[in-house]
Copies of this chain bind each other. A is one copy, B any other.
Amino acid sequence: MDFRTQIINASAESYEKFLPHISVDTVIFGFNQGTLKILLLKMNYNKEWFLPGGYVGKNEDTDEAVKRVLYERSGVKDIFLEEFAVFGNPQRNQQSFADFPDTLWNKQRFISIGYYALVNYTYVIPQPDALSETCQWVDFKEVASLAITMDHRNIIDRALQVLRERLSYKPIGYNLLPDKFTLPDLQRLYETVLGKKLNRGNFYRKMKNMAILEKLDEQRKGGAHKAPDLYKFNQDIYNSILKEGANTW
């Protein structure tokens, strides 16, 4: 079956299953050992890159829809996903699928709800969907040079901006670092996401104020320098701040 027929068949099925005019798009940032990546798919039909996304079932909660989409593309459940913006420009997907009939599901106007997540990319096995030739981690630095569909570049930029803002009162690190880690490990994670160096003293003070860390009675052995202290997250405080935000007042 050629790409064109596949797209037309998928369209008929989508009209049956999903609410019209509403989509979800997920910006999945991947971190491991100082590298930031993003999960992207490449469309068979026009070779453009796009974000993992999908639609909301007629009786499906939007939160469940986005978890389903993420599971289908990554094989991973229980990732912390956060809604960050709604993209509702009526022209946002007007140029797509230009050589298909106007009745194609994909050609209607979509208001897209954007979610982001940050995962350890070594835990994920990317799964292409039926209409894509690949689903893979792309180095964040290389995204600028890719042909990206519709307003997905704007969605990516906005997700990173909001993630960086929220770092000031929501923790990251769980599922990204080993169970036991050092403060320099954690600082490197923040620096990778923020895209800049941080002052060590300020960083440690900020982490201490958030009270998410527990110092262990262990040091990391084996380096040339003084063995650094190991820490773990206090899971109760971490989860409560993740849900409610840090009380910084």
Chain A residues within 8 Å of B, Cβ to Cβ: 19-22, 56, 58-63, 65, 83, 85-86, 88-90, 109, 111, 113, 161, 164-165, 167-169, 190, 194, 196, 198, 202-203, 244-246, 248-249
Q: Nearest chain-B residue to A84 (Cβ)? A: B83
* The residue from B20, B190, B244 contacting A249, defined by CB atoms under 8 A apart: B190
- Some 21 contacts from A to B, beta carbons below 8 A apart, are A20-B20, A21-B22, A22-B22, A22-B111, A56-B88, A61-B88, A61-B89, A62-B86, A63-B88, A83-B85, A83-B86, A88-B113, A165-B169, A165-B244, A165-B245, A168-B168, A168-B169, A168-B248, A169-B169, A190-B249, A198-B249
Contact between chains at A111 and B62 (CB < 8 Å): yes
In the bound complex, residues from chain B placing their C-beta under 8 Å from that of A61 are: 88-90
- Give A249 to B204 CA distance when docked, in angstroms: 11
